[in-house]
Each structure stands twice: as C-alpha cells, then as structure tokens.
A and B are shown apart, each in its own frame.
Chain A
C-alpha cells in the first residue's frame, strides 16, 4: 500500500540524516581556525576569549557538543549567528531559503516545460535537420558558463529588450499565419480533415497572446527580488525571478533535452510502440501517451538531483542578480567568516531537502512503473 510505503521510506531517512549531521559536525572540527577567535576578531583579551569559549561550550568533549547541538536542531533551534550578532541562524535561513526555493522551483519547472516537448520532438525526428539544429544548439548552450549567460540575458532582456521583442512578435505572427494557412487548406479541401475550426481558434489565441505580450513587455529587473508577500504582489515577484531562473534553466534545459531524447529514442524502438502504430493511433498520441512515460525515469532522477543542486549551489547567479539566497548566505555569512553555526544550519536544511527529494523520486517510480509495485503490497 502506498501510505505504508511512504512511511517506510521516510523512516529510512532517520539514519541518513543522523549520518549527514554527524559527518558535517566532525568535518567542521577539522577545519583550521578557532570559532571563538573568528567571533572576537584579532584584538581581544584572554578573558574575553575564555568567556566566549565557555559561552559556546567549545571546551566540552566532542560527542557532548554534537548531541547538544543535535538536541537544539530537533527542537528547531539552530543556534545564534556568531559573527553577525543578534540574529539566529534560523532567522537567516528564513530570509534566504524562500528566495532560493522559488528560484529553484521556477527554473526546474521552466526547464521541464521546455525540455520535454523538445526532447520528444528531437527523438521522434532523430537524424533529421531540425533535430540536428536543436541538438547542436543544446550542446552549445551547455558550454556557456552561467555568469556569462546571466550577463548576456541582462544585456538583451533589460537593456535592449527590442532585440528580443521584435523577433518574438515576428515569430508569433508567423506561427499564426501558418495556422491560418492550415485552416484555409481544410476550408478548400474538406477531405483533409474536419477539425479546421481548431486551427482558426488557435491562430486567434496566438495573435492575441503575441500582441498582448509585445505591448505589455515586462520590465525585468537586473538586481534584487521583491517578495511574493510584498506590496507589489506576485507579478512583480515573477518578473524579478524570471531572468535568474532562466539563467539557471539554460543548462538544465540542455541536459534534460539530451537525456530525454536518448531515452525516448530507445523507447521508440520497443515492440509496444510498433503495436501502438499498428493500432492506427496518431503519432502525437503514441509519443505522449505511450512513449513518454516509460522514458521519464532518468529525467525525473536527474531533475531531482538538479533541484538539489539549485537549492545549494546558485551562488554565482545569486551574486550576479544580488538575490541573497541560500548560496550567498552560506558562503558570505558562514564559510567566509568561519561561522560554524551558520554552516551547520545551512547544511542541515539543504541535506533535508535533498534526501526528501530523492525519497519523492523513489516513490514516483512506483507510480511510473507498475512493475516495481510487485511484492510491495
């Protein structure tokens, strides 16, 4: 049964989390430098130094310090930020984490929304011209470092929006014209298919959307982020998050597309695809209803890994866009100033997110592939 399975998987996380915290705690002890010294700075007296050491419980045995700290973590107390006085670690994380989370969610969703159709298309047209163009472009994108991509996107979207806006208008209108042509074909020759009106409606939607977006082209912000909870509301927030998320997405789109393409090509060689074709189903239906689901395993695994990476490691993009997410918090407030409480707290949060994600991937396999469900009931 599914709820039992989920409970079982969550239970297995307990030893994992124990090992993660223990490992981090021991490794921080091995890092050179004295937290008390980092806290006080160079010019402090011996009394001050001893006070702080006593305060931070630094002279206690290792295990007792670890369990003290772990007890705090379990009750929601991650300790104080040592260097930036007056704030707890939890407050710092509460500031930074929502930004990072939103960034990661938006960029993963964007990556999937773009790469799944691209992957399906390139796989079903493997070896043809458009597949080669898309695959080549995707390869080129993988090799662009994110700080370059960020600057390029800022250059075009923020400072020269017309370079993007007008081609967008042209593309949208061209698409609409093609749809109208399809509709006209069906009008002239009803034999071709009865669903002509569908093209007309679609063309109208495309034109409307293109013109609307062209006129109301959002002003993307170069730096900073306004919170969803702020007065500007969700629209402002999404405008702010768009460019950094797109920067992060570029690489993911490239990787996801290539992965899905190769998995899908393998699936399309399966016998059951041949028999689906023999059933006389349309190729779109075969691709999305029959071939996509069995091809998604690696993509889901990889996107969970990518999500975990985005949660912890978007420092560069956060710097370029001055966002102040988890990456910046960990590096600036933790590593750079040797604030071991911040590092520990950050790692605990990131590790929790990471193992939870992987558990979710594990569980999703059971939904995707019924063959895995055997013997679990």
Chain B
C-alpha cells in the first residue's frame, strides 16, 4: 500500500469510537469558568490593535484522487480568525477538519487532485509565496501539533535536538543560543528537570510529557498561529485537561491565535471564541461559542451535542446516537449531505444543497440548513415528519 492510500483511508474511515463523546470533565461545559472569561478578555485586547483578521480561509476546496473517484475532503469552506483568538473546528472523523488545516499547513499527501480557494495570512495569500519566503514560513509564522504525541516525535532523535532544529534551521540561531531557548521552552510547557530532558529520547517520557514537548517544538519560533489537531485525543482524561489548560495559558502568554480541532464539543466549549461545525467536508454551522451553546441551529450540531452523555442523566440512560453512517465522500448526495440522517429532512433537503448563510437575527452566526432547529420552519418540518412517521429520506421517527 502506498503512503497516500492509507492516509486517505484514514480520512474516510469512520467508526463508533470516533463519534463525539464526553471524555472531558463536566466543568468544561461551564461557559462562565474563570479560564474562558480571562481568555475572551485577552483576545479582545489583541483584536483591538488590528482590524484585518490574522487568517482568512475563503472557499477552500481540497479534493483527492483515489481509486474510487474524486474524494471531496474539503468543499467550499470559509472561515476567519482574528489575532489572539481561538476557533474550534468540530466534527466526526472524515468531516474534513484535519484536511482543512493540513491544506493550510501545506502538508497534504501527494494525491491531491484539486485545490482551490484563498488562504490569506496577514494579508498575503500563502499559496503564492516565493520559494524563499515559503522556506521560513511554515513552522515560523504558524505551527501545528498533532493527535498522538508518542508517534509524532522522532524516536531516534534527542528531545533537545528536535526543539533546537527549527531554531537553527529557521532562525539561524547558534547551537548554544538554541539550546538555551530549548531549555526555556521546556520550562515554559511545564516539564520538570528540563536540563536532563534535553538529552533524553521520546520513549523515556510519558504521553502527556511528549505532548508538552511537541507544544514546545511548535512554539519554538514564536508562531502567530498554532494549529492543534485533536491535541488530547490520544491522552488520558486527567492529562487532557492539563494539556488544554496549558494551551490556554500559553496562548495568552504568547498572544497566539489558535485553531483547535476536536471531535468533542466539550473540549472547545470553554476555550474557543468561535466554533465551526464541519460535516462531510463543509462547515454546516458557525457561531460564537456562547451563541452556539445557547441555541444550536443546525440539526447536526444538535445531534452531536445530544449524543454526549450528561452527568445529570440517571445511569443506564440510552445514548442518543446519530442514526446512519457518515456519507461516502466520493459519492456525496445531491442535496444536503446530512439529510439521510436528519430528523428534520424534508423533500427539499434531498434535492437542493443549503448554503452557509448568516442568521437574520444574529449575523455573527451562520448555518447551512433550510429547516433550522428552534425556528418556526424547523419546528414545522419536524412536526410534519413526525406526522408522517418518517423523514423525507426515510428515517423512522418515534413520537417522543
């Protein structure tokens, strides 16, 4: 099997364990927690200094050529991110969240068939950088951390060397200066006995420590944007919170913007300023965090949220899983891609694709749905489906 095949396989794969679950602490849902307040306040300060957003992604499309045809991993996706702020991208496996950020980081596999759209960072389209500019752009202006810290560090290179490498390569620092900075960075990410750790190898550290090291590596060149691709998925629940809190602190400290990818709404609840929910390669709902959790408009967002078990539920309550399977990205349905699984789906949803439009009342939020949850149109659609006993796509509805 070639390198690229397996990678795409991973993107399209979906399994039960990838369905969002509440693996984080209940307190993460508390929007008024101290950490989220201070973070929002800080982000406000940073945003005041400049007007143009740090990152603008416009109509991003990334398609792969596979044996089964064109795979539309990301289709017509747009979002913006201001200096110092955090956007959470939420969705199940195969929804296109990883491919979106990998397109931004330019680390896609070789079988990209088609890529279009603008990725504008500080006013420049980063797809048109000259080769000299590009050489010291990724890893300096923006950096990324990955899901599994144990495998994303090179097993045969000392930790110190892995941190100093980009300092020497990108910033031309001397060996001694880079070493000093590496030491600082390890202390910054809360690694005890940093001096000793510099000379150790990744297998000598725990998973949480490794993730701290990858964060140190990402922060080495003081990026303005940090992309965290499911940074806590591979970690213990107790360590997850530590790492997320560390990212919060560092973000304030370094005045970085952050793209936080997760399949767990709980992770982004108290940490992101804005949340974009992706499904089948598109953003289906985007809203400031408070607005989103106050009322979810897109049926998929609602279903995702309801599938999280709640602490206050009595034990043995049945989990409200989303019926059906995520769509095949090589053969997307003609209409709304969520329609086959949606409780609100009407005949229109099967033939026409809704676009991501701003809400009439609150223009800060937008969603791609003809029958949004909590609106008269949506209530009517649900009532009509219940009366018929099934949705337009044939999903049976119980009367509850």
Contact = CB atoms under 8 A, between A and B. Distances in A.
Interface of A: 126-127, 191-194, 265, 268-272, 274-282, 285, 289-290, 293-294, 368-371, 374
Contacts of A369: 155-156
Contact of A279 (B132, B201, B204, B217): B217
Interface class of chain A by DSSP: helix
Given A274-B107, A279-B165, A371 B132 contact: no
A193 B214 CA distance: 30
A154 to B, nearest CB: 40
Interface residues of B, number: 37
A370 B151 contact: no
Contact of B2 (A126, A368, A374): A126
Given A271-B148, A279-B217, A192 B130 contact: yes
A274 B152 contact: yes
Given A193-B131, A268-B3, A275 B140 contact: no
CB-CB nearest 3 A-B residue pairs? A280-B139, A280-B138, A271-B151
A193 B154 contact: no
A278 B102 CA distance: 9
A285 B162 CA distance: 13
Interface of B: 2-3, 6-7, 105, 107, 130-132, 135-140, 143-146, 148, 151-158, 165-166, 169-170, 201, 203-204, 214, 217
Nearest to B204: A374
B201 A282 contact: no
Contact of A374 (B131, B154, B157, B203): B203
A275 B153 contact: yes
Contact of A281 (B7, B105, B166): B166
B103 to A, nearest CB: 13
B107 A278 contact: yes
Contacts of B152: 271-272, 274-275
Given A192-B130, A281-B139, A294 B166 contact: no
A272 B154 contact: yes
Interface class of chain B by DSSP: mixed
Contacts of A265: 2-3
A294 B156 contact: yes
Contacts, number: 91
Nearest to B155: A371
B130 A270 contact: no
Contacts of B132: 191-194
A205 to B, nearest CB: 24
Nearest to B110: A127
Contacts of B214: 275
A277 B165 CA distance: 12
A294 B217 CA distance: 20
A294 B155 contact: yes
B364 to A, nearest CB: 31
A282 B107 contact: no
A19 B159 CA distance: 44
A368 B201 CA distance: 12
A157 B6 CA distance: 46
A146 to B, nearest CB: 33
Nearest to A370: B201
A371 B203 contact: yes
A369 B140 CA distance: 29
A281 B203 contact: no
Contacts of B148: 271
Contacts of A275: 144-146, 152-153, 214, 217
Contacts of B131: 191-193
A369 B136 CA distance: 30
Nearest to A273: B154
B144 to A, nearest CB: 4
A271 B214 CA distance: 12
Contacts of B130: 191-192
B57 to A, nearest CB: 17
A175 B242 CA distance: 55
Contacts of A192: 130-132
A265 B1 CA distance: 10
Given A192-B131, A269-B7, 15 more contacts: A126-B3, A193-B135, A265-B3, A270-B151, A271-B151, A272-B155, A278-B107, A278-B144, A279-B217, A280-B135, A281-B139, A281-B166, A290-B154, A369-B155, A371-B203
A78 B201 CA distance: 48
A370 to B, nearest CB: 4
7 contacts: A127-B2, A192-B131, A271-B148, A275-B145, A275-B152, A289-B165, A368-B156
A276 B154 contact: yes
